[in-house]
Structure 1
Amino acid sequence: MISLGSGQLPAEATLTITYVNRLERNESSWQIEADLRRQLEALPGVTIADAYDFGATALSTIKAPVDIRLSAEDWRLLPAAAERVTAALQKVPGLSSVSVSWDANTTEASLVLNEDKLRTLGLTPDVVLAQLPLKGAAVASMSKLPTVGAIPVRSYFSEPYRSNPATLGLLPIPLPDGSTVSLGEISTIVNQPGLSLLTTNGNRYSLDVLGYRNTAPISVLSEKSLAAAQKVLPPGVEASDKGDNAAGSDSSKRMLTGLGMGILLLFGVLAPAYGSVALALLSIIILPLSAIGAVWGLLAFNKALALPAILGIVLLFSIIIKNSILMVDFIQERRREGSGAFEAAMESIRLRYRPILMTAFGTIAGMIPIAMQRAVGLERLSPLADAAIGGLLLGTVLSLFYLPMFYVWVSEKSVSREAEHESGL
């Protein structure tokens, strides 16, 4: 599929190429991108060539994995600043290509009407504009003002006017008396830098310097890119990160905040149910310890702590807390029947280890295909499986052995404090 203009720049073209999935080809997506980039850059007239996989960003609103947004009060500062930042980002290792959302490298011909001659001949700007061919059709004026200070209109002409704007001066303009005058006699053409696109961010003008990557970690890449951009910024221009890393950090903070609130809510439910703050903390303390196993799983499979990994940790916590609650509840039930703390803990291990192991290994077995990435699209979800597998392996051991051990230790400390209190009385 070919899209000319991309809804933004008229001199920009987007080609969407569909390949067979990665399991049916020998080249990786990064090798394909590098080959396409080399071929596109070799085409005459191409100044910027980006090649990236479809869905390269976490959100559709993010323009590129690395998006350094430049902003200034005066838009004229931005093109020169973008050139400096682009040159700086091209030296950052890990970026495959760097481009800008808009620039001032185009040239446009500005038609300036002679106001004195128009009055002398009895003409108005609307009459002149009606004779200008816009791709074969007439140009409509955007303003009803009778003076030449009307709102400027950007027009795109067909040949031969496009390649040689001076030929517009030969166009005949009819006069009220029936005669004609050439456009060149009542106007001049001034060549000046042109903008095909001008964007704003709030009350300031903005320009995005976009960077695409292969396998480099996005967090490290974004930090290095932003640091490199800030070193070369001219006065009056500011830079901010609007890419994947910024959006991911914000989403991670919100998710961790929600996770923390869930743990506090869980503590508020368990403490009254057990009638003990210590037992409620005992059930929850396994969660951060099991997260260590999740991190080990990510390190073992060489995966980053991204949003899928955090979702895997949330899944892990739900299983581990269920096991913890069942273990503590079973021990409490045995204590109420008259068993000691150690005997109740040992009994809980003997009776609960099979269900806990079945739950853990059943979940791990379901996660193994995701971790192996043997289907199209699973590479994006594999950190979820890696975190869940590593966390379950460690969390299961903690639930079966360390939780009862902590319970016995807490019980003995409680008994010793009561004995000291009674002896003191």
Structure 2
Amino acid sequence: AIGIVVDDAIVVVENVERIMEEEHIGAYEATKKAMNGLTSALIATSLVLCAVFIPVSFLSGITGQLYRQFTVTIVVSVLISTVVALTLSPAMCALLLKPSNKKKRKHILFRYINHWLVTGNRKYSNLIQKAMMNPRRILSGFGIMLVIMFVISRFIPTSFMPQEDQGYFKVELELPEGATLERTRKVTERAVSYLLENPFVAYVQNVTGSSPRVGSNQSRSELTVILKPWEEREGVGVEQIMETVREELSQYPESKVFLSTPPVIPGLGSSGGFEMQLEARGDATFQNLIQAADTLMHYALQRKELTGLSSSLQSEIPQLYFDVDRDKARILGVPLTDIFSTMKAYTGSVYVNDFNMFNRIYKVYIQAEAPYRAHKDNINLFFVRGSNGAMVPLTALGTTDYTTGPGSIKRFNMFNTAIIRGAAAQGYSSGQAMEIMEEIAQKHLPANIGIEWSGLSFQEKKADGKTGIIMALVFLFVFLFLAAQYESWLVPISVLLSLPVAAFGAYLGIWVCGMENDIYFQIGLVMLIGLAAKNAILVVEFAKIQVDNGADIIYAAIHAARQRFRPIVMTSFAFILGMLPMVLASGPGSASRQSIGTGVFFGMIFSITFGIILVPFFFTLIYKLKASIKEKWS
């Protein structure tokens, strides 16, 4: 917004200064004359820039939320800058600008800039004349550019949001099912000691006996690795640190290791990367789901594009199975609910109520102490009251045996599910990773096993393919607004046809830089379209006024382009330089800033290099077409 708000003021000041220089009149008269020709153009350019954001702000889901944040910021900033340019800037020009002193020699820097602008303006006019003399070549080149842009856009990897360095990551250690807590603790302590030796790690939070994927489990351990501030890490990012940690911890023979980053948006999923729900649909059993998850993991682990793969299924956890003798329980008058509630209270826990003490609230649970629920034989210590009032031991009501089974069965949309998590390997995008997982599922899983995406992956899938819709809405709103502004269906086309050049520069820029087509790039692309339209309107508005006053079409187009060259270059370079810190950003939050800045940076360069040549060319072409149509129908 900072680069945008100065645009209108630059146009006003430059135009007033030019009129004072060329016509040798005072600041007050020059300001009045400048504003007579600029007012409608300034209003039109500002409203067009606002119009491009209006349709996208009505998108649903988190995509719409992100667009709305930018919409409010940009629209309010642009409207305020327009009001300032129409009120305060003219007043300041009339009061502060003075005629240049011909006897006083300007500073060498100003002389160099003015010489560069004059030379550039002259060459720019020559290029426009050459373009008008070779319309077929220009149109052929324009068509080739559109084809190349389409091809590049298909090759650019997609993702929803760039993965940010948030200063920490998580490590999960997974021992074989049934491993004791003591065994898990020893492996965890060894991992913590290694992590604390890393020069980029500040400290480590350790939760033994728990996992973000499966919850409480004595064979799991969760480590949250807090990194030192970015400036103390010498430019080393979280991905590099995670790769080093993964290589070391993967060598532990007694455990598997899973590393994950936090979700880009808190609350959307439990970790970064993708999150797939593998569902048992139709007649599929839980055993079918286990087999499908194993098959999917087998093929996914063979793909170099994927990393950090894990499944939430715990299918072989050692369990103690109590087989109730229901006939015997009925004879002894022991309700089954009492048997189950007794076992739950002693071997598990039962919430009773809360109580207040020392101005704090404490929860009350019933549970046998650890030594009395540690072994199979402890069942002998638990009794249930029969119908005759006698206490009956649980061992008299059934038998106990060791077995294995799932620790928990998760559901998603009413189906039994296995959660498959992972991430794209270095050099690949989340969109590519999701496509690979879908391809594996389609090839190797049975028809009664379905897949769905959840968390951030769901939002990415929901937003997939909306770029075309967004761009279509943006172009439609710009066209309708300009059609109302110029009271013509053809004149706005000369503005719209110059906009793909800016989009081509944006796509080419992120492709060369190896970046991804994500939501932030798309937001920048929408803003870029508005800025390119703003530059085009400055030329078209002035040219249209001259044509309406009887000037020749070609002369009007070239003269308008020559007159508007300086303010367009000045405003564009102001915005480009404003984008440069975002392009070169580093540290926390740099990925999203680079995603926005890179596309807009290269797009604006292409817009002022090639786009401003096409604006007068297409204006001439459209006006000649308009004249021929009018002549034909008359």
CA displacement at 1:361 relative to structure 2:
1.1
CA displacement at 1:311 relative to structure 2:
1.1
- Alignment of 1:390 onto 2:606: no
- Alignment of 1:51 onto 2:263: no
Distance in 2 between residues matched to 1:235 and 1:400, nearest whole Å: 55
Higher helix fraction: Structure 1 or Structure 2?
A: 2
Distance in 2 between residues matched to 1:296 and 1:140, nearest whole Å: 61
Number of the residue aligned with 2:420: 209
Number of the residue aligned with 2:292: 81
Number of the residue aligned with 2:559: 347
Q: Would the alpha carbon gap of residues 342 and 128 (structure 1) be closer, same or farther in structure 2, given more than 3 Å must change?
A: closer
Question: Is contact 1:57–1:64 with CA below 8 Å preserved after alignment?
Answer: no
Distance in 1 between residues matched to 2:272 and 2:430, nearest whole Å: 11
Question: Is contact 2:312–2:418 with CA below 8 Å preserved after alignment?
Answer: yes
Contiguous gaps of at least 5 residues in structure 1: 142-154
Correspondence 1:6-405 to 2 at 5 A: 6=212, 9-11=215-217, 12-26=220-234, 27-38=236-247, 40=249, 46=255, 48-55=256-263, 60-61=268-269, 64-73=272-281, 74-125=285-336, 127-128=338-339, 132=343, 134=345, 159-160=370-371, 163-171=374-382, 181-215=392-426, 216-234=428-446, 236-242=448-454, 247-254=459-466, 256-405=468-617
Q: Would the alpha carbon gap of residues 252 and 178 (structure 1) be closer, same or farther in structure 2, given more than 3 Å must change?
A: closer
Question: Is contact 1:129–1:139 with CA below 8 Å preserved after alignment?
Answer: no
Q: How many residues align?
A: 408
CA displacement at 1:297 relative to structure 2:
1.1
**In the alignment, residue 100 of structure 1 is paired with which amino acid?**
S
Distance in 1 between residues matched to 2:627 and 2:321, nearest whole Å: 92
Question: Is contact 1:71–1:206 with CA below 8 Å preserved after alignment?
Answer: yes
Distance in 2 between residues matched to 1:212 and 1:24, nearest whole Å: 27
Distance in 2 between residues matched to 1:7 and 1:229, nearest whole Å: 21
After superposition, the C-alpha distances for 1:147-194 in whole angstroms (9 at most, x for unaligned) are xxxxxxxx9976456553243235455667786554323211143433
Distance in 1 between residues matched to 2:538 and 2:575, nearest whole Å: 18
Q: Would the alpha carbon gap of residues 30 and 135 (structure 1) be closer, same or farther in structure 2, given more than 3 Å must change?
A: farther
Distance in 1 between residues matched to 2:430 and 2:297, nearest whole Å: 18
After superposition, the C-alpha distances for 1:84-110 in whole angstroms (9 at most, x for unaligned) are 111111111132221112331213223
SS of the residue corresponding to residue 277 of structure 1 reads: coil
TM-score between both structures, scaled by the size of structure 2: 0.58
Distance in 2 between residues matched to 1:245 and 1:136, nearest whole Å: 39
Name whichever of 313-322 and 182-191 sits farther off: 182-191
CA displacement at 1:420 relative to structure 2:
6.8
Name whichever of 311-320 and 263-272 sits farther off: 263-272
Q: Would the alpha carbon gap of residues 58 and 341 (structure 1) be closer, same or farther in structure 2, given more than 3 Å must change?
A: farther
Question: Is contact 2:423–2:430 with CA below 8 Å preserved after alignment?
Answer: no
Name whichever of 244-253 and 402-411 sits farther off: 244-253
Name whichever of 409-418 and 73-82 sits farther off: 409-418
Question: Is contact 1:345–1:404 with CA below 8 Å preserved after alignment?
Answer: yes
Distance in 2 between residues matched to 1:295 and 1:62, nearest whole Å: 32
Q: Would the alpha carbon gap of residues 59 and 173 (structure 1) be closer, same or farther in structure 2, given more than 3 Å must change?
A: closer
CA displacement at 1:304 relative to structure 2:
1.5
**In the alignment, residue 236 of structure 1 is paired with which amino acid?**
N
Distance in 2 between residues matched to 1:169 and 1:34, nearest whole Å: 51
Contiguous gaps of at least 5 residues in structure 2: 1-204, 353-365
Question: Is contact 2:493–2:622 with CA below 8 Å preserved after alignment?
Answer: no
Distance in 2 between residues matched to 1:421 and 1:172, nearest whole Å: 101
TM-score between both structures, scaled by the size of structure 1: 0.83
* Percent identity (aligned): 20
Q: Would the alpha carbon gap of residues 140 and 281 (structure 1) be closer, same or farther in structure 2, given more than 3 Å must change?
A: closer
SS of the residue corresponding to residue 605 of structure 2 reads: helix
Name whichever of 215-224 and 325-334 sits farther off: 215-224
Q: Would the alpha carbon gap of residues 259 and 390 (structure 1) be closer, same or farther in structure 2, given more than 3 Å must change?
A: same
SS of the residue corresponding to residue 325 of structure 1 reads: helix
After superposition, the C-alpha distances for 1:357-402 in whole angstroms (9 at most, x for unaligned) are 1221111111111111234211222121111011111112344221
Larger RCO: 1 or 2 (CA < 8 Å, sep 6+) = 2
CA displacement at 1:411 relative to structure 2:
2.9
Distance in 2 between residues matched to 1:22 and 1:268, nearest whole Å: 48
Question: Is contact 2:576–2:601 with CA below 8 Å preserved after alignment?
Answer: yes
Distance in 2 between residues matched to 1:165 and 1:140, nearest whole Å: 24
**In the alignment, residue 396 of structure 2 is paired with which amino acid?**
E
SS of the residue corresponding to residue 207 of structure 1 reads: strand
**In the alignment, residue 303 of structure 2 is paired with which amino acid?**
V
Distance in 1 between residues matched to 2:461 and 2:343, nearest whole Å: 52
Name whichever of 285-294 and 181-190 sits farther off: 181-190
Question: Is contact 1:105–1:194 with CA below 8 Å preserved after alignment?
Answer: yes
SS of the residue corresponding to residue 411 of structure 1 reads: helix
Number of the residue aligned with 1:409: 621
Q: Would the alpha carbon gap of residues 235 and 280 (structure 1) be closer, same or farther in structure 2, given more than 3 Å must change?
A: closer
Question: Is contact 2:333–2:388 with CA below 8 Å preserved after alignment?
Answer: no
Over the aligned positions, Cα root-mean-square deviation in angstroms equals 3.3
